Chain A
Amino acid sequence: GDSVTQMEGPVTLSEEAFLTINCTYTATGYPSLFWYVQYPGEGLQLLLKATKADDKGSNKGFEATYRKETTSFHLEKGSVQVSDSAVYFCALSDSRGYQKVTFGTGTKLQVIP
């Protein structure tokens, strides 16, 4: 079945550091790929998405590129801020049927001033 593997956290960075959170997936067909973010005390919200190979999703300075050849969707940001501290979930949506979403286990990011 479908699965998502993302790097374990927590990840601790200093403000303005470069961020990479790795995500790889296993799926049949052509899934859509997502990054969701969960800020402290809040619900999950969509950060960015990509629906086909080589697409780049971007939002709030974050980017991720859908790499079919490496089955990856790594999240990057050039300069993190304290306000980026949150848990980040990589996810994929089955392209068949009702688009069941499979989530990774989440990576906690802590940015220190």
Chain B
Amino acid sequence: GAGVSQSPSNKVTEKGKDVELRCDPISGHTALYWYRQSLGQGLEFLIYFQGNSAPDKSGLPSDRFSAERTGGSVSTLTIQRTQQEDSAVYLCASSPSGEQFFGPGTRLTVL
């Protein structure tokens, strides 16, 4: 069956522009997570969704970052006024409970 998909796979943008990253979780998975993986670093938790609500947004690094989830399915992570330090791979994972299933990630490069 289909796994978690993310789009785009690569995104190059200029500093100050807004970007939207999309995640399509596995059908039926109620939990959805966003992480950021910077070069040579571990995974940094950003936000967690249960259904359409986000009980834990504690990892969002600034108010330039926001995310939403609609229909208990697709999620969009938006970064406004991108900065060079936002360059990273953004990973999405979905979970029925416990084990997480990861997408391939979106590599964001801010010039």
> Cβ of A11 < 8 Å from any Cβ of B?
no
Q: How far is the CB of A31 from chain B (nearest CB, A)?
A: 11
Q: What is the CA–CA distance of A34 and B47 in the complex, to the nearest angstrom?
A: 20
**Majority secondary structure, B binding face:** strand
B31 within 8 A of A: yes
- A42–B89 CA distance with the chains assembled, in angstroms: 12
Segment with Cβ contacts to B, from A68-76, A77-85, A101-109: A101-109
B16 to chain A, nearest CB (A): 30
Enumerate A26-44 residues with CB–CB distance to B below 8 Å: 32, 34, 36, 42-44
- Chain A residues within 8 Å of B101, by CB: 46
Complex alpha-carbon distance, A32 and B91, angstroms: 21
B102-A45 in contact (CB<8A):
yes
Structural contact, B56 and A46, CB atoms closer than 8 A: no
B34 within 8 A of A: no
**Can you give 30 A-B contacts (C-beta < 8 A)?**
A32-B98, A36-B102, A42-B104, A43-B4, A43-B91, A43-B102, A43-B105, A44-B91, A44-B102, A45-B102, A46-B100, A46-B101, A89-B43, A93-B98, A98-B31, A98-B48, A98-B55, A100-B45, A100-B48, A101-B45, A101-B100, A102-B45, A103-B42, A103-B43, A104-B42, A105-B41, A105-B42, A106-B41, A106-B42, A106-B43
Contact surface of A with B, Cβ cutoff 8 Å: 32, 34, 36, 42-46, 49, 89, 93, 98-106
